[in-house]
Chains A and B, each alone.
Chain A
Amino acid sequence: MQKATIQLETLTCPSCIQKIENAVKSLEGVDKESLSVLFNSSKAKFNFDDEKISIKDVENAITALGYEVKKSQVKAL
């Protein structure tokens, strides 16, 4: 398992949070329980299984929603 922190563009609407949450949750290999999308710091934090999904796939899912990914960090758990 890997722990990821994705820095997004500044989030302004609360429904952005819900959208990003739903999009990332629906991805195979992302630990749903660990996911939190933070409104004020505009970050998404979650754990994922790097054998099933790569960080790039998650980033793409978020950019496809129209949100810019600024930086992502992955650490082994």
Chain B
Amino acid sequence: MLQRECRRGGIALQRYILSKKNHITLISAILLIIAFTSKLGFGNIDIFIWSLAIASLLGVAPIAIQAYQALKVKVVSIDVLVTIAVVGAFLIRNFEESAIVTFLFLFGAYLELRTLNKTRSAIKELTELAPESALKQMGNGEFEEVEVEEVDIGDILLVKTGAKVPVDGTVLSGEGHINEASITGEAVPVGKKKDSQVYAGTILENGTIQIVADRIGEDTTFGKIIELVEEAQDSKSEAERFIDKFSKYYTPAVLVLAIIVWIFSRDIELAITILVLGCPGALVIGVPVSNVAGIGNGARHGVLLKGSEVIGDFSKVDTVVFDKTGTLTIGNPKVADKEIYAENVNEVLGYLASVEKESDHPLAKAVIEHIGDTKLYTVESTDVVKGGGIVAQVDGHRVAVGNVLLMEQENVHLDDKARADIARFEANGNSLVLTAVDGKLKALMGIRDQIRPGVKADLQKLKKLGVKNLVVLSGDNQGTVDLVAQELGLTEAHGHMLPEDKSAYIGELQAKGQIVAFVGDGVNDSPSLALAQIGIAMGSGTDVAIETSDVVLMNSDFSRLPHALGLTKATANNMLQNIVIAVGVVIVLLFSVFFSEWMNMSIGMLVHEASILVVILNGMRLLRYKLR
């Protein structure tokens, strides 16, 4: 009984000391200042020695507790090495060394915590966006605030202005505008009304809505994004796993080395100096720090990277393969070229719009969108000509809208200029819509899928970043694909390709030794996404995209691709720098302890702690990375 009481008391004391670590660090600092002022200022050696001895005993307490706890679970941690070193220094009455070493170790740990929090901040900001509570309709019809974990599928929830949508759901009633930046990266609010989909983690900026819960917790789009990023920040590459294994044996090895040195040289000073110098801190921490900062930067800029393996592979990519529709192009056909052969332009466009309103053909939609607001006429007796277009009576005129074939059927005369325009439009990769009024050609429109704005500049940036081959693979006809390739300066273009042809072609490229990234919409192209070393999905945060790919570009924003590539290159470089710094510092320290006069425990600890801070600060640079 008494023994148990004591043990409990002991644990409480241990925890009390650990919780006061920052205070202890501060008191140590003050004692060090007192010690050195009294020695250098007043020549008082007594105060000097007493202050240092107290600082040593106070400072070593939390370190020794940590060392004891580590040994209890059979781990030889850095704390063990430092504790032995400090106790050794104390016993040979080198209080100056013992006090400075404990202070530096504690102060270093404090700075590490502060700076590490900073490198992790980008991801933390993201996870903190997760909704925590919801207003749920209870049995009596009233809404009550509950924790988000208590919401089940099918529950009816109330979302008020300024609140976060707690789950993925469908609007039952009410209207409002929602900021979906947390899902899509797009900050412009989206209007929502009955039957609209709403997503967890988005914010209702105005209005009030009631929703029914469709997906909850980790199954929501936002839940999946968070899970992905959280796992990514701690995912380990082959190199990291090696470092981890290595450090497990490295620390005990340093202890053994120190003991051997002590046995042979009988020099305690040298042995304990080795203990301090051998601490592996910067090596173990360097790579994870780069990783978390790099992935955090991506998450802030709408690029989700699935871990450090992905970073390593992506940074080496030399071939990028694109799907065409919806990736390089918008996937939404628009009127690109037009010629009007009439004086009364508005009247002709009015007739055309009136007729096209009757059709649900995709080309008709593009035409209506292009014309915009115009005077509409009553359309009588429309006649759909299969494979040709529409012939209708409008405002007392016979209006024919369709392709060249329809014009020939309608005996519309096409003069030399019209024929030249048609040839030119077709060469530009257009589908044609001709309009004839009472047998005379009045308008010619060329409609094609538009290249995404800015894509050309983005592709140039990829080339600058060292990508050699830019390939487009598409199901469209070769002519259209060639045009896109020409316009964008791609190196290869292949049309008439089915999804399986695309993945087979990627296999061929890989057989030639190229490292391939595939950029697709994530829906039709999952085999290619899976096969390529790096699958990049242009998903507006869709499930399939998140699951099948290695990199997700949020909100289908192509301009984030160069940023993603540049970022992975910078991150891979940063990891390498950190490994070099860490290994370099340990080699220099161990070398100088045997071959130089100036090396001692305090300088060793200072360099050791400084090297840890240097790798953390170096990693932190990635948070501010921007592609120039």
Interface residues of A (CB under 8 A from B): 10, 12-15, 18-19, 22-23, 26, 36, 38-41, 43, 63-66
With both chains docked as a complex, state the minimum distance between the C-beta of B246 and any C-beta of chain A, in angstroms: 12
Q: Which of A26, A41, A64 has most chain B Cβ within 10 Å?
A: A41
From 551 to 604 in chain B, residues with beta carbon under 8 angstroms from any chain A beta carbon are none
Q: Which of A13, A38, A43 has most chain B Cβ within 10 Å?
A: A13
How long is the Cα–Cα vector from A15 to B281 in the complex, in angstroms?
9
How long is the Cα–Cα vector from A12 to B285 in the complex, in angstroms?
9
B182: A residues at CB distance < 8 A: none
Asked whether any CB of chain A lies closer than 8 Å to the CB of B112, the reply is: yes
| Contact call B120/A15, Cβ cutoff below 8 A | no
With A14-B244, A23-B73, A65-B73 already in contact, 13 other A-B pairs whose C-beta atoms are closer than 8 Å: A13-B78, A13-B285, A15-B70, A15-B75, A19-B77, A40-B120, A40-B292, A41-B123, A41-B230, A64-B11, A64-B69, A66-B15, A66-B66
| Contact call A38/B69, Cβ cutoff below 8 A | no
| Contact call B11/A12, Cβ cutoff below 8 A | no
A14: B residues at CB distance < 8 A: 244, 247, 281, 284-285, 288
8 contacts between A and B (CB under 8 A): A10-B117, A12-B109, A12-B116, A18-B77, A18-B248, A19-B75, A41-B123, A41-B234
B285: A residues at CB distance < 8 A: 13-14
Tell whether A12 pairs with B75 under 8 Å between CB atoms, given A40-B233, A66-B18: no
| Contact call A18/B75, Cβ cutoff below 8 A | yes
B230: A residues at CB distance < 8 A: 38, 41, 43
B77: A residues at CB distance < 8 A: 13, 15, 18-19
| Contact call B234/A22, Cβ cutoff below 8 A | no
Asked whether any CB of chain A lies closer than 8 Å to the CB of B14, the reply is: yes
How long is the Cα–Cα vector from A62 to B375 in the complex, in angstroms?
75
| Contact call B116/A10, Cβ cutoff below 8 A | yes
With both chains docked as a complex, state the minimum distance between the C-beta of A62 and any C-beta of chain B, in angstroms: 11
How long is the Cα–Cα vector from A63 to B69 in the complex, in angstroms?
11
B120: A residues at CB distance < 8 A: 40
Interface residues of B (CB under 8 A from A): 11, 14-15, 18, 65-66, 69-70, 73-75, 77-79, 109, 112-113, 116-117, 120, 123, 230, 233-234, 244, 247-248, 251, 281, 284-285, 288, 291-292
B248 to A, closest residue via Cβ: A18
A12: B residues at CB distance < 8 A: 109, 112-113, 116
B284: A residues at CB distance < 8 A: 14
With both chains docked as a complex, state the minimum distance between the C-beta of B349 and any C-beta of chain A, in angstroms: 59
With both chains docked as a complex, state the minimum distance between the C-beta of A20 and any C-beta of chain B, in angstroms: 8
B229 to A, closest residue via Cβ: A41
With both chains docked as a complex, state the minimum distance between the C-beta of A23 and any C-beta of chain B, in angstroms: 4
How long is the Cα–Cα vector from A15 to B99 in the complex, in angstroms?
23
Partner of B113, one of A10, A18, A66: A10
| Contact call B69/A19, Cβ cutoff below 8 A | yes
How long is the Cα–Cα vector from A39 to B73 in the complex, in angstroms?
18
How long is the Cα–Cα vector from A49 to B607 in the complex, in angstroms?
46
A26: B residues at CB distance < 8 A: 73
| Contact call A19/B70, Cβ cutoff below 8 A | yes
B244: A residues at CB distance < 8 A: 14
| Contact call A19/B73, Cβ cutoff below 8 A | yes
B78: A residues at CB distance < 8 A: 13, 15
B73: A residues at CB distance < 8 A: 19, 22-23, 26, 65
A22: B residues at CB distance < 8 A: 73-75
Tell whether A66 pairs with B14 under 8 Å between CB atoms, given A15-B75, A26-B73: yes
With both chains docked as a complex, state the minimum distance between the C-beta of B312 and any C-beta of chain A, in angstroms: 17
